[in-house]
């Protein structure tokens, strides 16, 4: 009996996107934007990678590009013909260019990116995963990351403002103490003070 190729491909796509999600969770632990990618050739994973831009201080260290580098090193060939790359989010313009250059024939991504307003390379067959549930998982992991990042940023700002305010109040209290306690004031002249006190006694 002949297998349904389309059904087999869908099942394979779901499996490999889940593998890419595992990679995305690794980058999440490193406080990186959670994006994961795997490259498959003849049904076997030949490389896995996750985003490492912050860790490596490298603007090109996207999950897809690192995965391509690993795959090329493993196969000892920069041409990755007949390979499929799976990513948790649609690749950016830079990654699409490298994907096309490396001869990868197909791209499957977990969720669309709103920032990708550019013409995709015609040589690359790209498609979103055929699973609304898995698409939601891929989208949520990134959205949750940015929500938490913004929340932490607000908390840090509030904390900084609070610390600055407390410091200003402390400085005011310190200045007030100096004004009332003449002996601690830099402008206090003890000899003049003693002279005035003596003059008052003489008048009495």
Structural contact between residues 80 and 71, judged by C-beta atoms closer than 8 angstroms:
yes
Q: Cα separation of 22 and 54, whole Å? A: 19
pLDDT tens-place string over residues 112-137: 987 777 777 777 899 999 999 999 99
In percent, the amount of the chain with pLDDT more than 70 equals 70
What is the distance in angstroms between the CA of the first residue and the CA of the last residue of the chain?
Answer: 124
The whole-number average pLDDT for the span 42-55 is 97
**Taking all residues of the chain, what is their mean pLDDT, rounded to a whole number?**
82
Phi, psi of 84 (to 5 degrees): -125, 135
Picking from 100, 11, 83, 92, the residue whose alpha carbon sits closest to that of residue 46 is 83
| CB atoms closer than 10 angstroms to residue 72 | 17
The predicted pLDDT at position 7 comes to 55
Of residues 39 and 149, more confidently modeled = 39
Residue 164: is its pLDDT beyond 90? no
What average pLDDT does this structure show over 78-84?
Answer: 97
Task: Tell the burial category of 122 from Cβ atoms under 10 Å away from its Cβ (0-12, 13-18, 19+).
Answer: exposed
pLDDT of amino acid 11: 86
Selection from 6, 93, 9 nearest residue 43 by Cα: 9
| CATH class (in words) of the domain with range 10-152 | alpha beta
pLDDT of residue 122: 77
Of 109, 79, 83, nearest to 17 (Cα)? 109
* Residue 135 CB coordination number (10 Å): 18
Q: What pTM, to 2 d.p., does this model score? A: 0.71
Domain boundaries, the chain: 10-152
How far from 183 is each of 175, 177, 195, 196, CA to CA, in Å?
13, 10, 15, 15
The residue behind tokens 């790209």 is: 126
Q: Which one, of 27, 144, 26, 141, lies nearest residue 89 by Cα?
A: 141
Which positions are catalytic?
A: 64
Q: What is the pLDDT of residue 169?
A: 65
Interatomic CA distance for residues 31 and 19, integer angstroms: 19
């Amino acid at each position: 009996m002949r297998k349904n190729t389309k059904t087999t491909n869908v099942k394979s796509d779901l499996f490999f996107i889940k593998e890419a999600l595992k990679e995305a969770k690794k980058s999440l632990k490193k406080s990186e934007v959670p994006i994961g990618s795997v490259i498959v050739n003849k049904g076997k994973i030949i490389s896995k990678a996750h985003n490492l831009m912050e860790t490596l201080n490298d603007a090109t260290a996207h999950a897809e590009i690192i995965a391509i580098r690993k795959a090329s090193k493993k196969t000892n060939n920069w041409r990755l013909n007949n390979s499929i790359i799976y990513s948790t989010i649609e690749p950016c313009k830079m990654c699409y260019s490298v994907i096309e250059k490396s001869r990868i024939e197909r791209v499957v991504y977990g969720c669309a990116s709103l920032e990708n307003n550019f013409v995709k390379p015609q040589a690359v067959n790209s498609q979103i995963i055929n699973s609304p549930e898995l698409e939601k998982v891929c989208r949520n992991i990134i959205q949750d990351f940015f929500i938490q990042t913004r929340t932490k940023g607000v908390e840090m700002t509030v904390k900084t403002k609070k610390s600055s305010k407390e410091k200003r109040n402390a400085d005011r209290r310190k200045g007030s103490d100096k004004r009332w306690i003449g002996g601690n004031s830099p402008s206090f002249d003890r000899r003049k003070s003693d002279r005035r006190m003596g003059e008052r006694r003489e008048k009495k």
